[in-house]
Amino acid sequence: MGPYSGRSLNISKEVCGILLNRNCEFELNFVPS
């Protein structure tokens, strides 16, 4: 579930990571892939 559900995992070859903001209203968290 979530914004990435059902999407291809091939994107991980093109990016270094993703930015998430799960629990904090103001700060983004970088998650390396």
User: In this predicted structure, what is the pLDDT of residue 7?
Assistant: 76
pTM for this model (two decimals) = 0.25
Query: What is the model's pLDDT at position 8?
Result: 76
1-33 residue pLDDT tens = 566 677 777 777 777 777 665 666 656 555 666
Angle in degrees, CA 18, 24, 20, rounded to 5:
10
The pLDDT of residue 11 is: 73
Helix (H, G, I), strand (E, B) or coil at 12: helix
Every domain of the chain and the residues it spans = 1-33
